[in-house]
Structure 1
Amino acid sequence: MSKNISINRIAVIALMAAVLCILSPVSIPIFISPVPVSLGVLAVYLTAYVLTPIDALISVIIFILLGALGLPVFSGYSGGLGKLLGPTGGYIIGFIFTVYISSLIIHLKKGILYDVIGMVLGLALCYLPGTLWFSYQQGKGFIASLALCVVPFLIGDIIKIFVAYILGSQISKRLNHLNL
């Protein structure tokens, strides 16, 4: 029986890594920022709902490693170490913190308030290393980098939080019902 549980756990971790690889490349460049609007954050939130904090972390690390190896899983169907080391690489690395904190809080307490708090804190932990790295890479001040790379995305990220809450809680319930 324990082998079956391990296989199920591995399968769901792999499934969520695949979801990250499918949704994250979908992006739209915007003229006011060098960072595109992508579905990556939404995929990270869904992963946080479906998986425990450690499993969610493993799934995101798999996604990042696949991208680092050159698979086109990052925004705009890009991949490679150059993307991770480039101006927006800090946001991709920030997914590690986002998924762990979001999943931790989502699984710690039930309810929309805790889920939203978890996702907002997770997003802040994505924005921080991302903006610091962008600022360093581009030689811009932190506030100027926030204005370019965070402010234009706040409304979209709020929408992603609520979409993730609706989808994530339903997917999680159904997977729990199936004992996955």
Structure 2
Amino acid sequence: MEKTITIKKMAIISLMAAILCILSPISVPIFISPVPISLGVLAIYLTAYVLEPVEALISVVIFLLLGIFGLPVFSGYSGGIGKVLGPTGGYIIGFLFTVYASSVFIHLKKGIAFDIIGMIIGLGICYFLGTMWFSLQQGKGFIASLLLCVVPFLIGDAIKIVVAAIIGPEISKRLNKVNI
């Protein structure tokens, strides 16, 4: 059985890609890590709430392609293939896994605890891929890279998960209420 995507669904997929493009560049460099604090992960979680897993994945692919082709949608208003192939590119690619895993758990509709578990699993995959890539790019050990690129972000990303768990269901509910 073939499942089609409606014009309305395409619009929402595009809207979520646009929200990713708006929130992801907003970042704050921190002196203890080459990875900046960004709102990209929050946008990924909101996308996971609003869209089914494959649709959420399509939205992130659109975002990634826009960035790869040079639009300044990555952290610090950067773009281009060099950003994805650079030291922090693994985290950007990790967004694909984060949104998909998070959306799968969220759309099982088992409750907020399950949603949070899905977001943590998705983020864990992103952390792992990004840290492996950073480690290879920079010639650092995995643990050293983890301490540099993940540990400083644990509290902030936990806050983003809580914020998403609070506002994500509300956004999704309101969109469903207006049949979107």
Root-mean-square deviation over aligned CA pairs? 0.7
- Alignment of 1:137 onto 2:137: yes
Q: 1:91-106 counterparts in 2 under 5 A?
A: 91-106=91-106
Deviation of residue 167 (structure 1)? Answer: 1.3
Deviations 1:24-60 (A, max 9, x none): 0000000000000000000000000000000000000
Tell me the distance in 2 between the aligned counterparts of 1:165 and 1:178: 21
- Alignment of 1:32 onto 2:32: yes
Structure 2, unaligned runs of 5 or more: none
Any idea what SS the aligned residue of 1:179 has? Answer: coil
Deviation of residue 111 (structure 1)? Answer: 1.1
Tell me the distance in 1 between the aligned counterparts of 2:132 and 2:179: 41
Aligned to 1:50: 50
Number of aligned residue pairs: give it. 176
- Alignment of 1:110 onto 2:98: no
Identity of aligned residues (%): 74
The runs of at least 4 aligned residues of structure 1 exceeding 6 Å deviation read none
Tell me the distance in 2 between the aligned counterparts of 1:52 and 1:30: 34
Deviation of residue 110 (structure 1)? Answer: 3.0
Tell me the distance in 2 between the aligned counterparts of 1:48 and 1:14: 14
Tell me the distance in 2 between the aligned counterparts of 1:118 and 1:175: 21
Structure 1, unaligned runs of 5 or more: none
Deviation of residue 81 (structure 1)? Answer: 0.2
- Alignment of 1:173 onto 2:167: no
Tell me the distance in 1 between the aligned counterparts of 2:110 and 2:80: 38
Any idea what SS the aligned residue of 2:166 has? Answer: helix
Deviations 1:106-151 (A, max 9, x none): 0013311001001000000111110000000000000000000000
Paired residue type of 2:161? I
Aligned to 1:87: 87
TM-score with structure 1 setting the length: 0.96
Deviation of residue 94 (structure 1)? Answer: 0.1
Paired residue type of 1:117? I
TM-score with structure 2 setting the length: 0.96
Tell me the distance in 2 between the aligned counterparts of 1:129 and 1:27: 20
Paired residue type of 2:24? S
